[in-house]
Structure 1
Amino acid sequence: MKANSRRDNKLAFDVVADVYDSARPGIPCRLVTSLVRITGLAPGDQVLEVGAGSGQFTRPLRAAGPEVTALEPGDRLRALLAKHAADDPGITVRGGFFEDFTAPDGSFAAVVSANAWQWLDPAVSYRMAADLLLPGGHLALVWNFPIVADPAVQRALNEALADDYPDAVRHPETHLSGIEARAAEGRAELAASGRFEAPWWQFSTDTLTLTPDAYYDLLLSYANVAVLDDSARTNLFLLVRATLEVHGVDTVTMDNVLYAVSARKTDR
């Protein structure tokens, strides 16, 4: 995805770390397997993960064999990640922002990130990633974009939330096309760096089945909602609850669109 023009909310997730940990879906193992195959990662290879959160990508990636240095700037999220990884010596948890990370050039077979790369300055991120990679190493990025599967329910939620919470609105008619457009902009940004070649990308969809409370927590785990004060969060919860009750929804089914892109470091 193309980098955000505003990056001041990139630590917002740490404010709701416990909710983020429980609500954010993990990266599916089948997608991780595809990325491992495309990038040629082997057991024991060293991987740097940028913006690891509480381990939604870290744990399935580690299960596939590579050793992961997981970089997470948020103190609360990092503590949760360290707790989840406590029994695995193949995961090293580090603090700080990627822009401040230092390691010898060529330290990693891959640099990866899930739902975080857009928070980085593209003038810095691609150059740093390429320098950290071994010759022929890969940058691999993943995002997911869930939307309520029933368009009528999603439109009702949009109507209830649009005035006060426009960032929670999702448009069924343009959801996938909008993702594809943003993904194309991100690939153009990647190409413009001049440091990567032979991009591979994939779209896929899986299904999330959530309780109404879990759906609310998922909304809360996104930056523009996480920064709200307690009163605004309570109001959001009440609007979501009332809308779902009116429509008789006791289980929220979501289509979770996943986008992954990988590119190889250029030889120059």
Structure 2
Amino acid sequence: MVTITPPPAQEPHRHRRVAESFGVDPARYDRTRAGYPEAVVERIVAAAPGAEFLDVGCGTGIEARQFRAAGCTVLGVEPDERMAGFARGGGLVVEVATFEDWNPAGRTFDAVVSGTAWHWVDPVAGAAQAARVLRPGGVLAPFGHVYQLPPAVADALATAYRRAAPDSPLFAATQSEVSVLDAYGGLYERAADGIREAGGFDEPELWRHDWERTYRRDDLLDLVPTSGGLTMLPPDALAEVLAEVGAAVDELGGTVTLPYATWGLTATRRGADA
């Protein structure tokens, strides 16, 4: 997320060490990561033919709790036992596995969803697994957030991160001149390609929902360490990065309003005779 999100060309699902690093502090992740706009939740619920949902890479259960509040039953699949344990503490049922290797044991669902996690799943193998577990007419709906830091804050983060982790495969993303809000859509374009290659679905519909959220300095510094790459920094290096980010926010008056984009797609499972 932010300026150190893996760019589309880097196939983030191959970076398993990064994918499995978010559980270092599940409570912080759950506390700081934004929930999803109600319009996004409503859109997906309306697209599904029923209320039985499978949440892939459910993490601490942020979106699963939202779908549950919307009247759905939700089963989570999560590769990190630490994240799964936190989600279970919130009353969710979670099975520990990567989605590609998960055994559905004959169970089927009305929707397979994934909140800011589908890019850690092989786009073809994941779509094929979704096709196996979805009922005819069910929907595959991966979606995810990205936010844009103010230029001065983004530059401070990029400079400090480059110094702390010069060999990180994630640093290449800080070099792009393309808005991260726009570039993030590439992850879902690739997901759509994976769905087409796997077969069994109607043409995927790509969509985007824009919104914003205001952060005070300390709240932003609580959020930033949950980003991929920063989750793997040693404490002293992370402290240095956060000091520079905090100084940049102070220069802007101690509060920043971040534009967010929630990208997603929906694809309907064709019937057996289609």
TM-score (norm 1): 0.86
2:144: which partner in 1? 143
Matching of residue 219 in structure 1 with residue 219 in structure 2: no
* Alpha-carbon distance change, 101 to 186 in structure 1, aligned in 2, over 3 angstroms: closer
Aligned-residue identity in percent: 27
Matching of residue 7 in structure 1 with residue 12 in structure 2: no
Report how far residue 244 of structure 1 moved. 1.9
Higher helix share: 2
Contact 1:105 1:134 in 2 (8 A): no
- CA distance in 2 between counterparts of 1:229 and 1:168 reads 21
Which digits, 9 at most, give the CA deviation of each residue in 1:119-154, with x for residues without a partner?
122342111111111112111111100112x44544
Look up the SS of the partner of 1:261 in the other structure.
Answer: strand
Count of aligned pairs between the two proteins: 258
1:251: which partner in 2? 255
| Higher mean displacement: 157-166 or 107-116 | 157-166
Q: How does 1:42-53 map to 2 (within 5 A)?
A: 45-53=51-59
* Alpha-carbon distance change, 170 to 254 in structure 1, aligned in 2, over 3 angstroms: farther
- CA distance in 2 between counterparts of 1:248 and 1:123 reads 43
Contact 2:188 2:206 in 1 (8 A): no
User: Aligned AA for 1:62?
Assistant: R
1:179: which partner in 2? 184
* Alpha-carbon distance change, 138 to 252 in structure 1, aligned in 2, over 3 angstroms: same
Matching of residue 65 in structure 1 with residue 71 in structure 2: yes
* Residue 234 (structure 1) aligned to one of 225, 239, 243: 239
* Residue 25 (structure 1) aligned to one of 28, 34, 37: 34
* Unmatched tracts of structure 2, length 5 or more: 1-7, 166-170
Look up the SS of the partner of 2:218 in the other structure.
Answer: helix
- CA distance in 2 between counterparts of 1:196 and 1:217 reads 40
- CA distance in 2 between counterparts of 1:35 and 1:106 reads 20
Look up the SS of the partner of 2:16 in the other structure.
Answer: coil
